[in-house]
Amino acid sequence: MVKKLWNKNFILLLQGSAVSMIGDLMYSVAIGYWVYEKTGSNSLMGIMSSISMFVTMLLSPFSGTVVDKINRKWILVLGDFLQGILMLTIGILAFSDKLSVPIVLVAAFLAALGGVFYSPASNTVLIDVVPRDDLVRGQSLFSGVSSTINMIGTAFSGAMVAFLGVPIIIIINGCSNIYSAISELLISIPKTPRQGEKVSLSGILIDFKIAVKTIFENPCLRVFIPCAVLLNFLASGPFTLMLPFTIEKGLAVEQYGILMSMNTVGSLIGVIMLGTVKFSSRSRYWILALGFSSSVVFWILAYQSSSFIPMCLWMLLGSFGNSAGNTVFGASMMLALPEDNRGAILGFFSAATTGGIALSALAYGFLGDVFPLFIVFTVGSLLSLAPMLYLCFNPQIKSFILEN
């Protein structure tokens, strides 16, 4: 058993992921700028950004079961190394002015394909390299690093692209992926109970059925996963339409940037709090219940506000509560996963939640063309209160969190 949070394996996993995240963020800005500069097409940018979501939704239910059966260390190492080679190739093509939109779209598909296997492997490795009672802090640190990189990177990535140019940024991303692969090569990752089993299509389908059956039979997962999917469908849509929402409110584009930064700051404060302070199980339960419940109230106040400064305050507080609640929720769900089928269940969960987010964006976009966005956002948030309160105050979930 791992004895302390800050062990060698956790540090290697954290810093390798951080370097890779920085490169990926810079690349996403650079390649988006390149596509728009070359084509002037918003739809192409939309297609490029949606590729990852659809690959995740379609393949995650099956990639997780593969992760359970093969060496997770090599999934991480090869995933980052091959992505590094892919990015270096794209960078060289950009330098020689031979890069084209079809190549960029194929690269996005290949990167998404690798990510479908990388994500469940990384999530299950995290469970094994931190102490069980420190999983909330471990996840918080990962989330905090990700939020910090997004907050700072979003502010400076545009300037970096202008200063260094798109080809150099892509090359840097490739190098960051390879550095992450080297870090992961040094991690000691225990075998899963099913590692070494033969991977076959029939076996994958059987494991998928077992994962679904396990979810419905496990009293905690039976609540965790459906509630998460429903909450993503009801509550995630507004964040895909924040720009038109701020414009509808009569605010400037610059104010939209500030409003979204308040969202990031609130999330960052939440994960830092849970990453630095070791709360008791009872405190973690109330952080989940009050964090989730209060976030809806604060976001509704933000949607209804007509003044910019109060809107920023409500957005910050809502994101803080949601981030704190989500961190406890994520760690609790991880602890509820049976050890021999973690990857398959996480794959199913990832596909279902991604589908919920995609459907939410479509539904809110359609309704926003008919009704004012602040009304659509408010009604959707109010509807999300029902599954949220059911999750927070379910006796089995409360007992599980208090016991772990």
Residue 62 has pLDDT above 80, yes or no: no
| Predicted local distance difference test score (pLDDT) of residue 93 | 93
Residue 342 has pLDDT above 90, yes or no: no
pLDDT: which is higher, 38 or 90:
90
Residue 118 has pLDDT above 80, yes or no: yes
395, burial (CB in 10 Å: exposed 0-12, middle 13-18, buried 19+): exposed
| Predicted local distance difference test score (pLDDT) of residue 80 | 92
Span between the terminal Cα atoms of the chain, in Å: 16
Q: Calculate mean pLDDT across residues 113-122.
A: 85
Banded pLDDT at 156 (limits 50, 70, 90): low
Banded pLDDT at 404 (limits 50, 70, 90): low
Tell me what the pLDDT averaged over the chain comes to: 81
pTM of the model: 0.66
State how far the Cα of 91 lies from the Cα of 168, in Å rounded to an integer: 7
Q: Which of 27-31, 175-179, 276-280 has the highest mean pLDDT?
A: 175-179
pLDDT: which is higher, 190 or 380:
380
* Tokens (6 digits) for 177: 């992926």
Residue 81 has pLDDT above 90, yes or no: yes
Residues of each domain in the chain carrying CATH 1.20.1250.20:
8-189, 204-403
| Predicted local distance difference test score (pLDDT) of residue 139 | 74
Calculate what percentage of the chain has a pLDDT beyond 70: 92
| Predicted local distance difference test score (pLDDT) of residue 17 | 85
State how far the Cα of 157 lies from the Cα of 285, in Å rounded to an integer: 38
86, 174 in Cβ contact below 8 A? yes
Q: Does domain 204-403 have CATH number 1.20.1250.20?
A: yes
* Tokens (6 digits) for 352: 């279902």
8-189 folds as Growth Hormone; Chain: A; (1.20.1250)
Banded pLDDT at 154 (limits 50, 70, 90): low
Q: Calculate mean pLDDT across residues 338-366.
A: 76
For 231-272, how does the pLDDT look when each residue is reduced to its tens digit (9 = 90+)?
888 888 887 777 678 878 888 766 776 787 788 788 888 878
Residue 114 has pLDDT above 60, yes or no: yes
Positive or negative, the CA dihedral 134, 140, 143, 146 is negative
